[in-house]
Structure formats: C-alpha cells, structure tokens
C-alpha cells in the first residue's frame, strides 16, 4: 500500500532520545550532569561531602574494570596458545579467531576508564601550558567536551546492542556459545517474572553467537568511560586542578 509505514519490533526502543521517567533521555545524559557541574563549581564544600563516598566506590569500579581488561588480555594469550597446540595436534579449534577478537575488544573497552584515571591516554597539553592563568578553564572546557562526546558514544553503543537484539543478529563465523549463557545474560534485560520462562526455553545445545553478547563489553566500557570523564570533570571543578596525572616513564 502506498504510504504505508513498517515498524520493526522494538522500534520504540530504537528511537533517539526517547523519554525516560517523563523526560527526554538527553536531559538526563547532558543537562543534569552539566547542572551538577555548575553546582560543583560554586558549592565546592557541599559537593565534596556529597561525592566523597561516591568517589571511593567509583575508584574501585575503575580498578575492577582494569582487572577485567587484564583478564581478557590473558584470555587472548591462552587462545593463541590453544590455537598453536591444536595446529600441532592436527585438530581443529573452530571459532578461535572470533573468540580472540571478542577478547581483544573486551580488553580495549574495559581498560578505557582505568587507563584514563592513571593518565594513560594521550592528552595534547600544548594549549594548557601556554600560561598558568588559563590552564584551569581550558582544562575544564576540554573535559566537558570529552565527557559529552563519550556520553554520546555510550548512548549509541547501547543502541547497537538493542539493534542486534531486535534483528536477532548472529555471528557469521564458526564460533558458538552454550544456550544457557545467552539465557543467563538475558535475565538482566528482563523482569524476574520472565526468568522462569527464559530458563524453561533454554536448551543444552551450542548455538551461533548472538552479536549482542560480544558487544556487551563495548557498551559497558563506553558507559564507564563516560562516567569516569564526568567524574573527573566534577573533581576538576571542585579541586581546581586535574586529578588525571600521567605516570612518568624514564
């Protein structure tokens, strides 16, 4: 029929900046953090009392994300060794290349926030070092742009996950995962009332990897990077100096 509009299942979830708790999503992601940044700028002592316990929790989360990144890096090594042993033994290891790629992506994204807190990211400071009067406000501007950009990227990383679920996108390689693993992660995206049905429909077979599964580290890592940038942006406004200090390498 001319002029007909076809809507994919889950189209509501795929719309950009849909309402969340009565307000557009962009208000929660950009407006409220910017308003809180202004609060940190003018009410430094009160903001410090509010954020100090939050900082302790976030610092631990950043550390754990670095540990996860290290774990997946070790997994890359083990997968490479397993490939070598399989080749020497004359047996096949289907999907090993895909598994290594997934581990590499997980390593990269889980390491983002931890690397930021340790000053491991490249920061071009030529303008910051022009004089001591403008360094603070130039750093504030740079951190605000970085936090907004990371938030924008994190939102669309999550949208990529949702799109993969809606389309039931599966890997094109030879990698498989057990069906129970998919059910386990599906629990977190459904209400407890549906958990029984999820496990009742779970089989014992190995199935082609759904793309949303290896995409999860991308989403978590991108979200954590955005949180870390807003966090250090608030710390910069409160302390009047950056808390991101690179470790010197001799």
Helix (H, G, I), strand (E, B) or coil at 82: helix
DSSP 62-79: HHHHHHHHHHHHHHHHHH
Which residues lie closer than 8 Å to 237 by C-beta, 6 or more apart?
37, 40, 41, 44, 47, 140
The answer to whether residue 196 is domain-embedded is yes
Q: What is the pLDDT of residue 1?
A: 40
- Provide the whole-model pTM: 0.88
The answer to whether residue 43 is domain-embedded is no
The yes-or-no verdict on residue 82 having pLDDT over 50 is yes
Domain count, the chain: 1
The answer to whether residue 192 is domain-embedded is yes
Q: What is the pLDDT of residue 228?
A: 96
What is the mean pLDDT of the segment spanning 170-186? 88
Which residues lie closer than 8 Å to 137 by C-beta, 6 or more apart?
none
The answer to whether residue 204 is domain-embedded is yes
Q: What is the pLDDT of residue 6?
A: 37
Which residues lie closer than 8 Å to 173 by C-beta, 6 or more apart?
95, 97, 98, 209
Please report which confidence band the pLDDT of residue 225 belongs to, taking 50, 70 and 90 as the band edges: very high
Q: What is the pLDDT of residue 8?
A: 46
What is the mean pLDDT of the segment spanning 171-195? 87
The answer to whether the CB of 10 falls within 8 A of the CB of 165 is yes
Helix (H, G, I), strand (E, B) or coil at 19: strand
CA angle 190, 192, 194 (to 5 degrees): 65
What is the mean pLDDT of the segment spanning 222-237? 96
Q: What is the pLDDT of residue 186?
A: 86
What is the mean pLDDT of the segment spanning 14-39? 85
Q: Are strands 19-20 and 23-24 parallel, antiparallel or unpaired?
A: antiparallel
Please report which confidence band the pLDDT of residue 222 belongs to, taking 50, 70 and 90 as the band edges: very high
What is the mean pLDDT of the segment spanning 165-178? 88
The answer to whether residue 162 is domain-embedded is no
The answer to whether residue 38 is domain-embedded is no
Q: Which domain holds residue 201?
A: 172-208
Name the maximum alpha-carbon separation found in the chain.
70
The answer to whether residue 68 is domain-embedded is no
What is the mean pLDDT of the segment spanning 219-224? 96
Q: Which of 36-45, 59-68, 193-202, 211-220 has the lowest mean pLDDT?
A: 193-202
Tokens describing residue 10: 């889950």
C-alpha of 50 from chain center: 25
Q: What is the pLDDT of residue 236?
A: 94
**Above pLDDT 90, what percent of the chain?**
54
HEC per residue, 162-226: HHHHHHCCECCCCCEEEHHHHHHHHHCCCCHHHHHHHHHCCCCCEEECECHHHHHHHHHHHHHHH
d(CA 152, CA 191): 27
CA angle 31, 32, 37 (to 5 degrees): 100
Q: What is the pLDDT of residue 246?
A: 67
What is the mean pLDDT of the segment spanning 211-226? 95
d(CA 63, CA 71): 12
The answer to whether residue 118 is domain-embedded is no
């Amino acid at each position: 029929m001319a002029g007909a509009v076809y809507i994919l299942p889950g189209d509501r979830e795929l719309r950009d900046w849909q309402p969340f708790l009565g307000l557009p999503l962009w208000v929660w992601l950009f407006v409220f953090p910017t308003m809180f940044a202004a609060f940190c700028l003018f009410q430094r002592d009160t903001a410090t009392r509010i954020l100090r316990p939050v900082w302790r929790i976030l610092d631990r989360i950043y550390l754990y994300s670095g540990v996860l990144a290290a774990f997946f890096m070790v997994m890359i090594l083990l997968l490479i060794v397993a490939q070598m042993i399989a080749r020497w033994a004359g047996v096949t290891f289907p999907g090993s290349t895909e598994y290594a790629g997934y581990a590499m992506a997980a390593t990269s994204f889980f390491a983002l926030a931890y690397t930021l807190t340790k000053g491991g990211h490249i920061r071009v400071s030529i303008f910051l070092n022009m004089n001591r009067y403008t360094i603070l406000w130039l750093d504030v501007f740079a951190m605000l742009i970085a936090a907004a950009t990371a938030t924008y990227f994190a939102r669309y990383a999550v949208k990529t996950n949702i799109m993969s679920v809606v389309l039931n996108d599966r890997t094109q390689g030879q990698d498989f995962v057990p069906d129970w693993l998919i059910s386990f992660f599906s629990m977190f995206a459904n209400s407890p009332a549906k958990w029984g049905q999820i496990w009742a429909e779970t089989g014992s077979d190995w199935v082609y990897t759904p793309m949303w599964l290896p995409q999860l580290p991308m989403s978590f890592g991108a979200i954590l990077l955005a949180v870390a940038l807003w966090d250090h942006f608030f710390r910069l406004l409160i302390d009047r100096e950056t808390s991101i200090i690179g470790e010197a390498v001799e």
